[in-house]
């Protein structure tokens, strides 16, 4: 596992960023730009009594927007705005805005830019920007608290460990994340533990945790081993092998020196991510927007082709145009994936799904063409618009296959920490079609997990380009 850079306490990186808070963070980024420009226009109106602004002032605003993207965009001000103790974040925000305006003034002074030397205009602009930016965050905090308090997109968490360490984690979560995390309770590592933690329900022994996490939508598991060694850690990780919950590890005093800079901080509590994905919070919103915009554009282009394919499917053999199959989606939830039907209607034995093989007699002649060119996958762009799939991600397997492979391929179910995709990193690297050996499936899982851990918009675009170049037709497509 790659080391995680150490974080400042006020960033609260270990607390979850829900879809609501991620959207608000993106709106804050856009809002700061709007606030800066609007404050400049209002300052000019107050200083000069007019809204007709000379080009020199417009250029000063454009430079201010650029400095804002650089200074605020590279800081933590878009991750700490939800903190319970907001004073430190507020002072940091003030310092960042002052830096933006100092850069603007220095640019004008050093390059002797004419026409924008009004000190009163600069003062009005800076003051208005800071006030409006703070007000914007107050509103966002209120909206986020209201949404979470009404049960929208709440992160449910549990703690597992000894009583003292679990109590310490619970206290820190309550002190800075009570409105962000719904702490359901704690599991004791000793079967006969009877210690009580004030305000935190005892959910039972460790051996009952797996079932509870799976049935109660738990998104975070906090492991707190205490000051003694934790031989039970392997058991905890093993019990969560098929869970998509994030796992946070709170090291004991001795272990802090071992992990050194690979920890985050929750207030003053060091936390190590044993399992996490870059696709959280804002990143998940960005990928969702990316998916829907691209899917809509692609459907507008391929719409006529899809109509022709639908006619071909209908004429090739009796039966519906679309084939619908239950698959596991994000967090292992059941979704319905759509394809153009490429096989003749047939019945499978209950609980079995037979993978298509080369020269499979069930595949129609027209269906064989669709499968070789992957055109049978086109209806899945509607799945993307629906929000159950992504354009790029781990390919969804049949539920029956998941139930089999999760017990024989290590970390198999971790593929479901991300929405399934129409194409993926495994597919553009030649891992398509039938997985008739465990080695093939293991390699596919390795590629999928690499993609999940290294996701970025550029990585998605790279995979899309590779798919266009070589992904539609290949030896594994049949």
Mind listing the pLDDT tens digit for each residue in 24-39?
Answer: 888 999 999 999 999 9
CA dihedral angle for residue 387, residue 413, residue 184, residue 81, rounded to 10 degrees? -50
CATH architecture assigned to 155-275: 3-Layer(aba) Sandwich (3.40)
Q: How far apart are CA 292 and CA 287, in angstroms?
A: 9
Q: What is the pLDDT of residue 383?
A: 94
Is the model more confident about 228 or about 261? 228
Share of the chain above pLDDT 90, in %: 27
Three-state DSSP class for 187? strand
Q: What is the pLDDT of residue 97?
A: 94
Contact assessment for residue 229 and residue 210, using Cβ atoms and an 8 Å cutoff: no
The answer, yes or no, to whether residue 475 has pLDDT greater than 80, is no
Contact assessment for residue 265 and residue 7, using Cβ atoms and an 8 Å cutoff: yes
Give 179's pLDDT tier (boundaries 50, 70, 90): low
Length of the chain measured in residues: 478
Mean pLDDT across the chain? 81
Q: How far apart are CA 43 and CA 366, in angstroms?
A: 67
Range from 245-254, 278-287, 341-350, 362-371 that averages highest in pLDDT: 362-371
Q: How far apart are CA 267 and CA 88, in angstroms?
A: 12
Single pTM value for the model? 0.65
Q: What is the pLDDT of residue 9?
A: 33
Among 146, 26, 10, 13, residue whose Cα is nearest residue 84 = 10
Overall average pLDDT of the 42-71 stretch: 92
The answer, yes or no, to whether residue 347 has pLDDT greater than 60, is no
Question: For residue 149, how many other CB atoms are within 10 A of its CB?
Answer: 10
Domain layout of the chain by residue ranges: 19-149, 155-275, 282-471
Q: Is 115 left (phi over 0), alpha (psi -120 to 50) or beta?
A: left
Overall average pLDDT of the 259-265 stretch: 51
Give 3's pLDDT tier (boundaries 50, 70, 90): very low
CA dihedral angle for residue 207, residue 213, residue 215, residue 216, rounded to 10 degrees? 130
Overall average pLDDT of the 96-122 stretch: 90
Give 335's pLDDT tier (boundaries 50, 70, 90): very high
Is the model more confident about 340 or about 191? 340
Q: How far apart are CA 474 and CA 393, in angstroms?
A: 19
């Amino acid at each position: 596992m790659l080391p995680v850079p150490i974080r400042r306490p006020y960033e609260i990186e270990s607390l979850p960023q829900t879809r609501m808070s991620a959207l608000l963070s993106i709106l804050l980024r856009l809002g700061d730009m709007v606030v800066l420009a609007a404050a400049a226009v209002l300052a000019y109106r107050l200083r000069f009594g007019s809204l007709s602004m000379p080009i020199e002032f417009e250029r000063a605003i454009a430079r201010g927007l650029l400095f804002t993207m650089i200074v605020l965009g590279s800081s933590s001000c878009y991750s700490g705005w939800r903190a319970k103790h907001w004073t430190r974040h507020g002072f940091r925000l003030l310092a960042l805005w002052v830096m933006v305006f100092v850069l603007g003034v220095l640019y004008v002074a050093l390059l002797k830019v004419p026409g924008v030397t009004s000190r009163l205009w600069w003062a009005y602009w800076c003051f208005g920007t800071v006030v409006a930016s703070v007000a914007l965050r107050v509103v966002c905090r209120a909206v986020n608290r209201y949404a979470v308090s009404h049960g929208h997109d709440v992160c449910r968490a549990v703690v597992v460990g000894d009583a003292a360490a679990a109590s310490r984690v619970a206290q820190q979560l309550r002190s800075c994340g009570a409105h962000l995390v719904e702490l359901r309770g704690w599991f004791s590592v000793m079967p006969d533990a009877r210690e009580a933690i004030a305000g935190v329900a005892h959910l039972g022994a460790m051996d009952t945790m797996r079932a509870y996490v799976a049935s109660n939508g738990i998104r975070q598991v906090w492991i707190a081993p205490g000051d003694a060694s934790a031989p039970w850690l392997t058991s905890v990780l093993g019990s969560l092998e098929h869970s998509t919950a994030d796992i946070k590890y709170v090291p004991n005093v001795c272990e802090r020196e071992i992990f050194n800079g690979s920890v985050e901080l929750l207030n003053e509590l060091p936390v190590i991510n044993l399992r996490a994905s870059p696709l959280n919070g804002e990143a998940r919103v960005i990928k969702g927007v990316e998916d829907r915009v691209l899917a809509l554009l692609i459907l507008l282009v391929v719409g006529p082709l899809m109509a022709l394919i639908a006619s071909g499917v209908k004429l090739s053999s009796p039966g519906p145009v679309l084939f619908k199959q239950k698959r596991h989606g994000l967090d292992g939830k059941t979704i319905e994936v759509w394809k153009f039907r490429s096989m003749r209607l047939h019945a499978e034995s209950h609980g079995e799904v037979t993978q298509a093989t080369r020269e499979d007699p069930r595949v129609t002649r027209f269906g064989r063409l669709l499968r070789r060119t992957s055109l049978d996958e086109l209806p899945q762009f509607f799945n993307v618009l629906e929000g159950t799939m992504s354009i790029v991600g781990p390919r969804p397997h049949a539920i029956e296959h998941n139930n089999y492979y999760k017990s024989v391929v290590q970390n198999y179910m971790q593929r479901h920490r991300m929405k399934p995709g129409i194409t993926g990193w495994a597919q553009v690297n030649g891992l398509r079609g039938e997985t008739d050996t465990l080695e093939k499936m293991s390699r596919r899982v390795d590629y999928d997990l690499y993609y999940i851990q290294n996701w970025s918009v550029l990585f998605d675009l790279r995979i899309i380009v590779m798919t266009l170049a070589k992904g539609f037709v290949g030896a594994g497509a049949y």
